[in-house]
């Protein structure tokens, strides 16, 4: 039965893709500049250049990403076919709730390490961070190295105790020595909040990626990804999700290593010369001056190329850099879909092993992303990258086409198609893990343990889990469609901020503080979640039309004054003046989505405030509402953390 359903799903997707591709070619044209919502891939929006480059971009690079449709669709279908085959195989082995939520605890440390890496290396990392580096230099580097440190927190603090103290979800860990129903309810809310914000960002990213690459309408792209996502989770559960993530991680590392190698080869494997070339590149200097620093005229003696290699182009406030570090270091340790992976291995030893492997893979990946990002800045130019996509998300794809031989060549088209397919597989794997985490929170925590008081049989649990996954997937599709024109960078920032501010303090104190109780858990989750949400929506990460208008006004004033003095403006200055006038007219008087003309909270990352608030709320809530039973049960959870007593063995399949 499962095989027939999956086969029908595959055929439907093929026919739908072909039909809508033809329709798109007739009815819609993909703009050369993607909408500002493209930063769903977690790259900030950069100002689109209006200047004429000081030098011609590299030959063989188009002004938009134009992959060979036949080759790209063939690779997409191959990946979809392989992963759907995995789903059919996994569906036959998914019989119990443990199978559905945790793959029966039978995943090895090596497999789980690759799966965690696949879960964590999202399209935000692969496309967004490389684009961020190509537009903002060292600030993008800071985004790329941050995730390496998050796994240290997971390895040292979370992995082994969570594996021994929990079962399937975040709620299992937090409810062990507290009042189960209120804690599970709040934990489910937090889990769904984090998962959905992250999920919407990935869905919008998938829609925009398919729209730009294949001229497939946004709505069709989102629905297609959503259908696949639902199929993976509903039929295959954690086992299918795990192997999809392993396949994706392998493809992603292959593409990243190859692309970084080609960048280094083009630079003659000379890193010093490579970075000297970036600093001395006129296109990079012009980009920093006009698009980032907004200097209409060059400052005498100022080295704009060197400025590209210094921090502060994107994260201008040092506190923002600290806040970002806090979110990176603690956020991953509170992400529900990462925590769930610890329950898939048969022992605490395998949990530790999986984190070590994931740390090695992720560190290698994020190091190579820096090479790719800087290579894109040098060999493509920031102007070209931002003209194709304001957020820089197409930088990796353009670079792959260039290094493969250029647009229109077989090598360029093949390499671009492969990288596009890897990006697509990346999105599928991440959204599957997020849907599974959200559905587990609703089905296992809310239905089984709150509504049914833990008395549902295995068949009912699996049935409810699949139905819940279906509805979570549908909700993700609907919200992805609704968020098409929204700047969803804030959603990704919010997911990490909520995880670091609420989930991490709650888990850490639940495992290691004897006095911690129900009130502490509820206060940590509620205060951490609400404070992170409130700070993000009033922060600079949101879009403020009036700020855009004010920046444009400065350029207009400077250049018009120059004209009044009788100076004939260069062509690039005339274009900058025209663009600034258009930006001013479009955005003057506008407000953000919450009605603000300017941010109230000065930092782009709320972690430096919201994490201490969540921690303090947990401490004060615990001390104000003491619970002797929770204290008495601490000895039991401490023994379980160390020994793993009471944990079920892996299932045999």
pLDDT tens, residue by residue, 390-418: 778 888 989 999 999 888 888 888 998 89
Q: What is the mean pLDDT of residues 619-635?
A: 88
Where is pLDDT greater, at 317 or 148? 317
C-beta of residue 105 within 8 angstroms of C-beta of residue 343: yes
* DSSP secondary structure code for residue 164 in this structure: H
Residues 312-324 have a mean pLDDT of 84
What's the pLDDT at 609?
A: 94
Structure tokens at 240: 């299918």
209 versus 88: which is more confidently predicted? 88
In this prediction, residue 627 carries a pLDDT of 86
CA 233 to CA 101: how far, in whole Å? 10
Looking at residue 341, its pLDDT comes to: 86
| The CATH fold of domain 2-54+67-544+591-643 | Sodium/glucose cotransporter (1.20.1730)
Q: How far apart are alpha carbons 462 and 457 in whole angstroms?
A: 9
What pLDDT was estimated at residue 490? 56
Q: What is the pLDDT of residue 44?
A: 36
647 with 164: CB under 8 angstroms?
yes
- Mean pLDDT, range 62-86, rounded to an integer: 82
Position 309 scores a pLDDT of 92
Question: Does residue 506 carry a pLDDT above 60?
Answer: yes
- 516 or 10, which is more confident: 516
Contact 119, 245 (CB under 8 A): yes
d(CA 332, CA 191): 13
Q: What is the pLDDT of residues 329-360, one digit of tens each?
A: 888 788 888 888 888 888 878 888 888 898 89
Confidence of residue 486 (pLDDT cuts 50, 70, 90): low
CB 401 within 8 A of CB 61: yes
Please give the share of the chain, as a percent, with pLDDT higher than 70: 85
Average pLDDT, integer, range 86-102:
84
pLDDT at 19: 39
Highest mean pLDDT among 24-28, 145-149, 346-350, 612-616 belongs to 612-616
Average pLDDT for residues 13-33, to the nearest whole number? 36
Residue 47 has pLDDT above 50, yes or no: no
Place of tokens 């697509």: 424
Mean pLDDT of 103-130: 84
Mean pLDDT of the chain: 80
The mean per-residue pLDDT over the stretch 304-328 comes to 86
- pLDDT band at residue 644, thresholds of 50, 70 and 90? low
Q: How many CB atoms lie within 10 A of CB 598?
A: 12
Residue that wins the pLDDT comparison between 484 and 75: 75
Report helix angle 504-512 to 634-643, nearest 10.
Answer: 100
Question: Is the pLDDT confidence value at 194 over 70?
Answer: yes
Rounded to whole angstroms, the Cα distance separating 84 from 649 reads 28
Confidence class for position 328, pLDDT limits 50, 70, 90? confident
Q: Which is more confident, 147 or 337?
A: 337
Taking 70 as the threshold, does the pLDDT of residue 438 lie above it?
yes
pLDDT of residue 288: 93
626: left (phi over 0), alpha (psi -120 to 50) or beta: beta
Comparing 50-54, 101-105, 141-145, 306-310, the range with the smallest average pLDDT is: 50-54
Percent of the chain with pLDDT over 90: 20
- pLDDT average, residue stretch 99-113: 87
The continuous run of DSSP H or E covering 572 comes out as helix 571-587
Q: pLDDT digits over 489-500, tens only?
A: 556 667 788 888
Mean pLDDT lowest among 28-32, 106-110, 173-177, 319-323: 28-32
| pLDDT tier for residue 166 given thresholds of 50, 70 and 90 | low
Query: For residues 462 and 260, what is the distance between their CA atoms, to the nearest angstrom?
Result: 43
- CA gap 41, 357 in Å, rounded: 25
How confident is the model at residue 489, as a pLDDT? 56
Q: Evaluate if residue 604 carries a pLDDT over 70.
A: yes
Residue 570 CB burial class (10 angstroms; 0-12, 13-18, ≥19): exposed
Average pLDDT (443-452) is 87
C-alpha to C-alpha distance for 360 and 357, rounded to whole angstroms: 5
Cα dist. 324→318, 479, 608 in Å?
Answer: 10, 27, 8
Q: What are the Cα distances from residue 180, in Å, to 191, 326, 398, 465?
A: 16, 30, 51, 20
The mean per-residue pLDDT over the stretch 627-635 comes to 85
Angle at 297 between CA 291 and CA 303, to 5 degrees: 75
Residues 603, 148, 416: CA angle, nearest 5 degrees: 95
- Please tell me the pTM assigned to this model: 0.79
Q: Which two tokens stand for residue 369?
A: 């992303």
- Region 85-101: mean pLDDT is 84
Give residue-wise pLDDT tens across range 525-560.
999 989 988 898 888 877 788 888 888 888 888 888
Q: Would you state the pLDDT for residue 62? A: 58
**Token couple for 59:** 């030959």
Task: Evaluate if residue 428 carries a pLDDT over 90.
Answer: no
Report the range out of 30-39, 60-69, 157-166, 245-254 with the highest average pLDDT.
245-254
Q: How far apart are CA 313 and CA 307, in angstroms?
A: 8
Q: What is the pLDDT of residue 167?
A: 73
Tell me the domain boundaries of the chain. Answer: 2-54+67-544+591-643
Please give the pLDDT value at position 406. Answer: 85
| CB 29 within 8 Å of CB 374 | no
Per-residue pLDDT at 147: 66
């Amino acid at each position: 039965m499962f095989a027939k359903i999956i086969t029908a799903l595959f055929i439907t997707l093929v026919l739908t893709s072909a039909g809508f591709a033809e329709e798109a070619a007739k009815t819609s044209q993909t703009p050369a500049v993607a909408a500002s919502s493209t930063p769903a891939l977690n790259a900030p929006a950069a100002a689109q250049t209006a200047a004429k480059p000081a030098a011609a971009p590299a030959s063989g690079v188009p002004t938009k990403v134009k992959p060979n449709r036949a080759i790209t669709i063939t690779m997409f279908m191959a990946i979809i076919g392989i992963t759907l085959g995995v789903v059919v195989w996994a569906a036959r082995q998914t019989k119990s709730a443990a199978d559905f939520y945790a793959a029966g605890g039978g995943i090895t440390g090596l497999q789980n390490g690759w799966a965690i890496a696949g879960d964590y290396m999202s399209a935000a990392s692969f496309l967004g961070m490389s684009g961020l580096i190509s537009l903002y230099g060292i600030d993008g580097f800071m985004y790329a190295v941050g995730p390496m440190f998050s796994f240290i927190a997971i390895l040292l603090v979370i992995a082994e105790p969570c594996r021994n103290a929990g079962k399937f979800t975040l709620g299992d860990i937090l409810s062990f020595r507290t009042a189960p129903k209120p804690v599970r309810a709040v934990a489910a809310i937090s889990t769904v909040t984090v998962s959905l914000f992250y999920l919407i960002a990935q869905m919008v990213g998938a829609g925009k990626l398919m729209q730009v690459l294949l001229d497939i309408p946004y709505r069709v792209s989102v629905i297609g990804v959503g259908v696949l996502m639902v199929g993976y989770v509903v039929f295959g559960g954690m086992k299918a999700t795990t192997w999809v993530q392993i396949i994706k991680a392998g493809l992603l590392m292959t593409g990243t290593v190859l692309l970084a190698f080609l960048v280094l080869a083009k630079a003659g494997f000379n890193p010093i010369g490579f970075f000297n070339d970036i600093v001395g590149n006129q296109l990079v200097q012009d980009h920093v001056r006009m698009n980032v620093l907004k200097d209409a005229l060059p400052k005498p003696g100022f080295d704009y190329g060197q400025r590209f290699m210094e921090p502060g182009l994107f994260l201008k406030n040092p506190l923002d850099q600290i806040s970002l570090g806090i979110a990176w270091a603690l956020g991953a340790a509170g992400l529900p879909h990462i925590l769930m992976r610890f329950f898939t291995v048969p022992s605490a030893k395998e949990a530790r092993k999986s984190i070590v492997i994931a740390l090695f893979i992720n560190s290698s990946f994020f190091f190579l992303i820096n090479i790719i990002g800087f290579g894109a800045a040098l060999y493509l130019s920031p102007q070209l990258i931002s003209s194709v996509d304001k957020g820089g998300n197409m930088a990796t794809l353009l670079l792959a086409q260039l290094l493969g031989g250029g647009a229109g060549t077989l090598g360029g088209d093949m390499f671009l198609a492969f990288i596009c397919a890897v990006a697509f597989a990346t999105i599928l794997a991440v959204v599957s893990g997020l849907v599974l985490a959200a559905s587990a929170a609703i089905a296992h925590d809310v239905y089984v343990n709150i509504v049914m008081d833990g008395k549902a049989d295995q068949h009912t649990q699996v049935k409810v889990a699949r139905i819940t996954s279906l509805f979570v997937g549908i909700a993700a599709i609907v919200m992805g469609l609704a968020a098409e024109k929204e700047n969803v960078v804030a959603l990704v920032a919010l997911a990490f901020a909520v995880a670091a501010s609420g989930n991490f303090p709650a888990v850490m104190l639940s495992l290691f503080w004897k006095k911690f109780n129900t009130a502490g858990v509820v206060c940590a989750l509620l205060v951490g979640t609400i404070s992170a949400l409130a700070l993000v929506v009033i922060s600079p990460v949101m879009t403020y039309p009036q700020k855009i208008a004010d920046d444009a006004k400065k350029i207009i004033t400077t250049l018009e004054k120059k004209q009044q003095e009788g100076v004939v403006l260069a062509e690039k200055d005339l274009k900058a003046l025209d663009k600034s006038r258009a930006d001013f007219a479009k955005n003057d008087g506008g407000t953000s989505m919450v009605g603000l003309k300017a941010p109230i909270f000065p930092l782009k990352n709320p972690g430096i405030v919201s994490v201490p608030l969540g921690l303090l709320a947990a401490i004060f809530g615990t001390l104000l509402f003491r619970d002797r039973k929770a204290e008495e049960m601490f000895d039991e959870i401490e023994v379980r953390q160390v020994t793993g007593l009471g944990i079920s063995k892996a299932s045999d399949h």
